[in-house]
Amino acid sequence: MKALITGATRGIGKNIAESLDAEIFAVGRNEKLLSNYKNYFVCDLAKQNELEELGNYIEKNKIDILINNAGEYVYSRIEDLNYTSIEHIVRVNLEAPLYLISKAVPYMKKKKWGRIINIGSISGVMGEACASTYSATKAGLIGTSKALALELAEFGITVNTINPGWVDTDMGNSSANDGDWSKTEIIECIPQKRFVTPNEITGMIKYLISDDARGVTGQSINLCAGLSVGY
């Protein structure tokens, strides 16, 4: 199996890349950090020419597990957004995953097997005040997974979205600090009173790529320490 992971230099993506039992193809913007991997590709997903080159890389290497993990978070009131910031986050969080899937699917169809996992967010399930662009793009990944699960089911390809809640990573902690509440206050609103760990997300991915999960497709899986259930 050949697994390509975007956003593989830190946080969730790094944990996945270091733990998955597959040949890893790591993607990110920081070549120094990527050079720790045998196979890597430097790419800014917001830049069309680099994204297209990454698409060619996927085709060339016959990727059969695609994990769209890279994403960007913006905390902003709606009236403070501008066209450039909206366009950027939509490109990175939604357009890039769709494009990369389009390049991976032909080989998966030929093989009659493939796994596509999109890393969404609980914010795409519940919504998040002052994070409308982030919530919108993550909700878009859920819709993408449902539609493609139907389209690709007959080819042995599964497509699912994992929606983490607050995760104990640099991005998760900095996002907590960017908002109006402190991390301590956020934890008090989480039923399990904790952030989830990257290992939990990687564990779910390991299951989803296994043959035991071949019947799991089109699902939106909330891995959020109970945050989506209520408070």
**Measured distance CA(116)–CA(104) in Å, rounded:** 9
Handedness of CA 96, 139, 8, 178 (dihedral sign): positive
Reported as type and span, the H/E element at residue 5 is: strand 2-6
Q: How far is CA 113 from CA 68, 104, 223, in A?
A: 18, 11, 25
Helix axes 96-111, 132-152, angle to 10 degrees: 20
Coil, strand or helix at 44: coil
- Return the bridge partners of 210, or none: none
Catalytically annotated residues: 134
Beta-carbon contacts of residue 90 (< 8 Å; ≥ 6 apart): 133, 136, 137
